[in-house]
Amino acid sequence: MSPSEAKKSENKKTPNLRALAAKILFQVVDKGRSLADELPDAQLKLTNPKDKGLLQEICYGVLRYLPQLEYQSKEFISKPLTGKQRVFHFLILVGIYQLRYTRIPDHAAISETVSACESLKNRHMKGLTNAILRNIQRNGSDDLEQLFEHCADAIKYNHPGWLLKKLQLAYPDDWINIVSANMQRPPMWLRVNQQKISVADYLELLAQAGIEVAHQDSHSQALCLDQPRDVSTLPGFQQGLVSVQDGAAQHAAVFLNAQSSDSVLDACAAPGGKTCHIAERTPGIAKLLALDVEEHRLQRVHENLQRLQLNAQRICADAGDPNSWWDGQAFDRILLDAPCSGTGVIRKHPDIKWLRRASDIEQLVSLQGRILAAIWSTLKPGGKMIYATCSILPEENRQQIERFVAQNQDAEWLPLGDGHQRDWQILPGQDSKDGFYYAKLGKKA
């Protein structure tokens, strides 16, 4: 085989990552698939780590700026692309994103995006794709803020209108800061496994590896890195010295404060970060049960426990149906990280903005209430429960707890601790953390 033939053969084996991005975005936006499900499968088709990273950057970026990208594309697309051509709509958005929101050289962004048409098996779309991207390149305004100044809020702030209205109502003084934080790339937080190494000693390992820490949380001991990085570069990651977990989520085990004699339930436990943190903080705990309704997600709990060399019982079942899993032995402490809208973690999961609907919130509130009532029956008198969500919507959080306490005479609202007298609503970006909510309930003896 000649060198030129070998090169052609190699090119055939390497997928065009812009084409992969367009397919992923089509599945997420039009078909309602989760980016967390679609992206990893596509990344397996790429061998170069930089290509995997660029694919992620493009997919995340298009989903962050989707309304503005749609707005810019409409000026140059006379008729909507539908049917088999629909994926090319997202390919064009991929091209616009590269031109307007990244430092990728224009010629590379345009040529690679146009080349993706062949990978998507439609060479006839090359002309249209090229023409639109060339027009964007020539005619696009350098001042994006001015370009969208008079647009509807949904376009101006890159959030669905229903969500903006909820945020404006709940946080009249903070909603702009919230949507701004949602548009940022998330920092990388670490949780040190203090069964294996002290925080001080792990900080020394990071320093030796040339990895800088931006700051350390004084209550949970969580470490925020100055720059995200591949976990393979973290000292002792495979040996279980450290895990990746947001600084907000690390307060769950702290507030739960399980003791070694306790029987503890982590309801809705997957992927297991909080289960592992409870086990790390409480060596020799009497009983730790991780419960989740999805088998494939419960497997993640197993994998995390195994890497960290920790133990917990695992059951796949519906937390809202104790008859299907509970042995009748009441728990001393329960962590309920309830299913929620995820509106506090949009910066990590920008697809949430487009997968969620206003009608979902009422259904989620109902589901949370059902699980909360069912799990409450498994808590001992005198026992304590931490209720948590990664939502920032009051109806899923404080209003949910207010209603529960009003309806259950044996429930009392307890101080969280660490200076929080009642509950704690962390907003996205606050102290560089995800949006999160915590409340502590006690069961009267």
Active site members: 390
**Does 271 belong to an annotated binding site?**
yes
Q: Which of 304, 334, 340 is nearest to 322 (CA)?
A: 334
Q: Is 431 annotated as a binding residue?
A: no
Residue 117 burial (10 A CB sphere; 0-12, 13-18, 19+):
buried
Residues 6+ apart with CB under 8 A from 225: 187, 188, 189, 190, 211, 212, 213, 214
**274 known ligand binder:** yes
Using the CB atoms, write b or e for 417-445: b if 16+ within 10 Å. eeebeebbbbbbbbebbbbbbbbbbbbee
Sort 155 into a burial class: Cβ within 10 Å, 0-12 / 13-18 / 19+: buried
Is 269 annotated to bind a ligand? Reply is yes
State how far the Cα of 255 lies from the Cα of 444, in Å rounded to an integer.
Answer: 19
Residue 166 is inside which H or E element, if any? helix 161-170
Please classify residue 271 by burial: count the beta carbons closer than 10 Å to its beta carbon, then call 0-12 exposed, 13-18 middle and 19+ buried.
middle
The annotation status of 337 as a binding-site residue, yes or no, is yes
Q: Judge whether 273 is annotated as a binding position.
A: yes
Residue 292 counted as an annotated binding residue: yes
Is 268 annotated in some ligand binding site? Answer: yes
240 is known to lie in a ligand binding site: no
DSSP state of 124: T
For residue 216, CA distances in Å to 264, 392, 433 come to: 28, 24, 12
Binding-site members for S-adenosyl-L-methionine are 268-274, 292, 318, 337
Q: Which residues are annotated as a binding site?
A: 268-274, 292, 318, 337
